[in-house]
Structure 1
Amino acid sequence: MTDTLLRKPFAMRASQRLTLLTLCLAVTIAHIDTFIVNLGARAIGDHFAAGVDELQWIVDSYNLVYAVSLLTGGMLADIYGRRRILMSGALIFTLASLLCAAAPSARVLIPGRALTGAGGALMIPASLAIIRVVWDHPGERARALGVWAACNGVAMALGPSLGGMLIPWFGWRSIFLVVVPFGLLALIMAGYTIPESSDPRRRPFDATAQVFGGLALGGLTFAAISTQSAPRTMVAALIVTALSAVLFIATERRKGSGALLSPEIFTIHQFQAAMIATMGMTFGGYGMVFVLPLAWQSSGRLDTAASAAALLPMSLVFIVVSPLSGVLSEKLGIRTVTSGGVALMGLGLLLIGVGGLQPNIAVAELGLAMTGLGLGLAAGPLSAMAVGHVTAARAGTAAALINVARISGATIGVAVLGACYAGAGGGERGLVSAMIAGSLVQFAGAAVAWMVTRERTLHAPI
């Protein structure tokens, strides 16, 4: 009877529901901040008379610091407590949002945005690690992760709409102020609804690995940011990335099982598949979200508000499907749902490329809905694959790594698909080129993940 109850969708205890609500609130405000600020860039630029470079850094400083801080956030969560680190992240995020709202100049707003990125890097890995610990039954964990992953879709749908309503009436500062009460609410709720957990071995803080890992991730993100505006800077950043990655690997090999990233983690087939598929998923998905509105607005096909509305089918389908992904992965197999979801996204991108700039964008809307379907199927189960095959003690590190795969795929995807669009001369030809490139990477990621995963092979958590 108990087992039957456990397998019913959302048949979780009241305390678990409150925990999940708190985690969803924290993740939603972290993601919504990214989408809402993108929409406010023009208003901020007009207010401060900021140039393109400053506006770029207002948007990208969040992503850069987030990427650099991810491994640190995951390790701190394991060592000092996941609830404590999540609450610290929520506090930093809230205070940084207040700083952004009060910023007297772009030079103050940029470090404010960087601080919000640091807060997000503490909150998101910690929240994913908490799910790994609180939901010890794999089926229930998958369902909880489906709901958790749907928060990204909620943020994607709500961010542009909320920004479109707030900015004309209350000005650009309101887009930072709006998250403050929700950040405080998440901070208060976390203290009452989330049980504390940490690695009982209290492994030491691996400062050397943190520095090299942060430099590698930061260099990769900086290279993507500099692709269009400063090719020489991009090359220098890639060199820093490569050298830092080599030094990071050498450092970790010397420390063995005490390393920041235990080498055994990367021998787990399901973890490898989750990393590969996640990078393919975000490469095409985030790259498309960057290129498609740019193509619509550059061609005069749609304005900013209409572009945000036209993207809604992807977000809405994602929101509906994602909470069901755990149930579907149990019935169809996690390999089918994850690899199949990423492959569906690839098909969606092809339809977007074909129909994005046609007089009737119905084909593109179908492609966006298919992309949302694939994303909804894959996002939660991929996180479940990543954190479900390591011990609870390593949950924060595994959560950080899957987010490293997500942000790396997204960063490279925006840079590469943007370059494909520009290199083909923009317009319909540029959109088709970019979407083909994105879909090929997604098909490859889905295929490799399918081959790497052994559906029936059981691994003891490492």
Structure 2
Amino acid sequence: MSAGLTAARPRLALAVLMLPTLLVSMDMFVLHFAVPELSADLQPSAVELLWIVDVYGFLVAGSLITMGTLGDRIGRRRLLLIGAAAFAAASVLAAFSTSPAMLIIARALLGMVGASLLPSTLALIRTLFEDERERGIAFGVWVAVFTSGGAIGPLVGGALLEQFWWGSVFLLGVPAMALLLILGPVLLPESRDPHPGRLDLPSTAMSLLAVLGIVYGLKRIAVDGPDLVAALAGLGGLAVGVVFLRRQRRLDHPLIDLTLFGSARFNLALVAQLSVNAAWAGTYLFVTQHLQLVAGLTPVVAGLWTLPGVAAGVITSTLVPRLRGRLRPELVLAGVMAVSAAGCVVLATAGTGIGTVVVGAALVMAMASAIVAVSTDVIVGSAPPERAGAASSISETSSELGIAFGVALLGAAGAAAFRNVLVGPAGIPDSALGTLGGALDAAHGQPGGEAFAAAARAAFLTGMHTAAWVGAAIMIAAAATALVLARRTPEPQLQPLS
């Protein structure tokens, strides 16, 4: 191999790793526009449709810890290639599903194998780039691609649905995974823990149940409000999580190395990831509704108006990590979180026009991408190379929990403010006062419906403002925590800014 090709190999390998990163992200959102056609074809019940949409994300979140540790044991490249082959097969199964149950199973399989891909890509980046600054930039590229996938997925899905049947949205992954299977063995190095120990199966089951219970409970609160089922699921998940952590302390080869949490910088990075994903996901929930139900845009046009935020996120996630080694991570995180809080404040002042909403959402999304890039570098870089997969899974799990927490907390705060402000006139059922969509549907064709619809939109703005202020408070608290930690942590050797 020539010297030039040897020098370029890490960058070529990074490009290969972006294939599964993009596909896993796209698959989280690509189904959204396909739901009407899918429903007409397969005739799922309301419960089955919810599971078709949600089971992928549930299994990704619940399987990350197990898959990250499994990669440390059997080899990250090996797990990545096995996952790629399984992802392609499950995509075909989903595309040609003939019943709701078959599609739910296929989506569940996609979630499990998707969870095997993400920690493997991050752990391999840790192996490919030994230089801290180059590694930070590489993680920024990873975040940029993952962020782009969330925006590209619905748009590509919508384009495919104009030409083909609903199953075509799943076939996007097949050629990409085939290319990964061809190039991966050539360009990607193998890496693993040289002394991995035995995989503790009870721990894998407990980690899955703990995360699934917490995520399901939070999601149910966001959709239906607090109830007994949500409380039991969330508390059950937390209880299993406590037992899981206690078991890890007793094992010679734990699923999660708890000594990682002894680093204040590691913990700050986790808090930053959880906080910014909570603020982003919670406010984005209202932004998408505002663009469609208040501003009156179609789903496709509303999706296009979110692209400025995606573009800003791509820029910040690749530029901000370049400060690695020049400014302390705590100061970088504090500054970026402060800007994210400012974005939430912008959303808290938005009216019915889309300009302020787009600017505020773009600020929050851009800063979220930057924080995830920096915090991922800190989390994965803090772990010894042999535990890179486990550290990557902790990072990804923190993000998933942050998203679920943000949707539940900010969603509940905004919904409560919406209900407190909106009062339905005679003829409007109380059940229509829970969401803006329900209120607008109930107002259609009713006497005084236009006035009620206007009141509902005004009440929605109150709810969005409330949620945005909660997001701003979260980010300000996290930024203050970072500044306090910066004062208490010994200053590392930094490179000059010139």
Report the TM-score, using the length of structure 1 for normalisation.
0.91
Q: Does 1:388 align with 2:381?
A: yes
**Equivalent residues in 2 for 1:262-273, closer than 5 Å:** 262-273=257-268
Between the aligned partners of 1:107 and 1:457, the Cα distance in structure 2 is 54
**Which sits farther off after the overlay, 267-276 or 163-172?**
163-172
The counterpart of 2:26, out of the listed 26, 32, 39, is 32
**Could you give the per-residue CA deviations for residues 246-266 of structure 1, whole angstroms, max 9, x where no partner exists?**
2112211222x5322222110
The counterpart of 1:378, out of the listed 361, 371, 377, is 371
2:148 matched residue in structure 1: 154
1:297 matched residue in structure 2: 292
Amino acid aligned to 2:248: E
Kept in 2, the 8 Å contact 1:280–1:409? The answer is yes
- What is the SS of the residue equivalent to 1:111? helix
Kept in 1, the 8 Å contact 2:60–2:111? The answer is yes
Between the aligned partners of 2:354 and 2:303, the Cα distance in structure 1 is 14
Kept in 1, the 8 Å contact 2:55–2:111? The answer is yes
**Could you give the per-residue CA deviations for residues 224-263 of structure 1, whole angstroms, max 9, x where no partner exists?**
23223482221110121122012112211222x5322222
Kept in 2, the 8 Å contact 1:101–1:177? The answer is yes
Displacement after TM superposition at 1:171 (Å): 2.7
2:468 matched residue in structure 1: 435
**Equivalent residues in 2 for 1:439-450, closer than 5 Å:** 439-450=472-483
Amino acid aligned to 1:429: T
Amino acid aligned to 1:201: H
Displacement after TM superposition at 1:300 (Å): 5.6
2:242 matched residue in structure 1: 246
The alpha-carbon distance between structure 1 residues 299 and 366, as it changes in their structure 2 partners (threshold 3 A), is closer
- What is the SS of the residue equivalent to 1:332? coil
Displacement after TM superposition at 1:279 (Å): 0.1
2:410 matched residue in structure 1: 417
The alpha-carbon distance between structure 1 residues 163 and 402, as it changes in their structure 2 partners (threshold 3 A), is same
Q: Does 1:82 align with 2:76?
A: yes
**Could you give the per-residue CA deviations for residues 318-377 of structure 1, whole angstroms, max 9, x where no partner exists?**
11222222213333332222232233222212212322x42x321122212212331232
2:183 matched residue in structure 1: 189
Displacement after TM superposition at 1:421 (Å): 2.7
Between the aligned partners of 1:132 and 1:170, the Cα distance in structure 2 is 40
1:3 matched residue in structure 2: none
Kept in 2, the 8 Å contact 1:282–1:409? The answer is yes
Between the aligned partners of 1:346 and 1:138, the Cα distance in structure 2 is 28
1:136 matched residue in structure 2: 130
Between the aligned partners of 1:435 and 1:55, the Cα distance in structure 2 is 30
Displacement after TM superposition at 1:118 (Å): 0.7
Amino acid aligned to 1:400: S
The counterpart of 2:231, out of the listed 225, 232, 235, is 235
Between the aligned partners of 2:301 and 2:213, the Cα distance in structure 1 is 35
Between the aligned partners of 1:421 and 1:187, the Cα distance in structure 2 is 45
Between the aligned partners of 1:84 and 1:348, the Cα distance in structure 2 is 41
**Equivalent residues in 2 for 1:59-458, closer than 5 Å:** 59-227=53-221, 228-229=223-224, 231-255=227-251, 258-299=253-294, 301-355=296-350, 357-358=351-352, 360-425=353-418, 426=436, 427-452=460-485, 454=489, 456=491
Displacement after TM superposition at 1:412 (Å): 1.4
**Could you give the per-residue CA deviations for residues 174-221 of structure 1, whole angstroms, max 9, x where no partner exists?**
111122111221222212111001001122212222222221101011
Displacement after TM superposition at 1:430 (Å): 1.4
Between the aligned partners of 2:39 and 2:304, the Cα distance in structure 1 is 23
Kept in 1, the 8 Å contact 2:269–2:375? The answer is yes
Between the aligned partners of 1:339 and 1:455, the Cα distance in structure 2 is 17
Displacement after TM superposition at 1:424 (Å): 2.0
- What is the SS of the residue equivalent to 2:348? helix
Amino acid aligned to 2:306: L
Between the aligned partners of 1:353 and 1:308, the Cα distance in structure 2 is 21
Q: What runs of 5+ residues in structure 2 fail to find an aligned partner? A: 419-435, 437-459, 494-498
Between the aligned partners of 2:416 and 2:136, the Cα distance in structure 1 is 41
Displacement after TM superposition at 1:385 (Å): 0.2
Displacement after TM superposition at 1:138 (Å): 0.7
- What is the SS of the residue equivalent to 1:270? helix
- What is the SS of the residue equivalent to 1:424? helix
Amino acid aligned to 2:35: A
Q: How many residues align?
A: 445
Between the aligned partners of 1:265 and 1:217, the Cα distance in structure 2 is 19
Displacement after TM superposition at 1:52 (Å): 3.3
Kept in 1, the 8 Å contact 2:61–2:397? The answer is yes
Displacement after TM superposition at 1:134 (Å): 1.5
Amino acid aligned to 2:95: A
Displacement after TM superposition at 1:12 (Å): 9.0
**Which sits farther off after the overlay, 279-288 or 446-455?**
446-455
Kept in 2, the 8 Å contact 1:274–1:449? The answer is no
Displacement after TM superposition at 1:32 (Å): 0.8
Displacement after TM superposition at 1:455 (Å): 6.2
**Equivalent residues in 2 for 1:43-58, closer than 5 Å:** 43-58=37-52
1:7 matched residue in structure 2: none
Kept in 2, the 8 Å contact 1:57–1:110? The answer is yes
Between the aligned partners of 1:74 and 1:49, the Cα distance in structure 2 is 37
Kept in 2, the 8 Å contact 1:43–1:172? The answer is yes
**Which sits farther off after the overlay, 15-24 or 328-337?**
328-337
Displacement after TM superposition at 1:457 (Å): 5.0
Displacement after TM superposition at 1:310 (Å): 1.4
The alpha-carbon distance between structure 1 residues 344 and 43, as it changes in their structure 2 partners (threshold 3 A), is farther
Between the aligned partners of 2:139 and 2:167, the Cα distance in structure 1 is 33
**Could you give the per-residue CA deviations for residues 354-403 of structure 1, whole angstroms, max 9, x where no partner exists?**
22x42x32112221221233123222111100011110011011000011
Between the aligned partners of 2:475 and 2:176, the Cα distance in structure 1 is 35
Amino acid aligned to 2:195: R
Between the aligned partners of 2:286 and 2:255, the Cα distance in structure 1 is 36
1:4 matched residue in structure 2: none
Structure label with greater radius of gyration: 2
- What is the SS of the residue equivalent to 1:205? coil
Q: Root-mean-square deviation (CA), in Å?
A: 2.0
Between the aligned partners of 1:420 and 1:50, the Cα distance in structure 2 is 31
Between the aligned partners of 1:324 and 1:300, the Cα distance in structure 2 is 33
1:8 matched residue in structure 2: none
Between the aligned partners of 2:355 and 2:461, the Cα distance in structure 1 is 16
Kept in 2, the 8 Å contact 1:129–1:399? The answer is yes
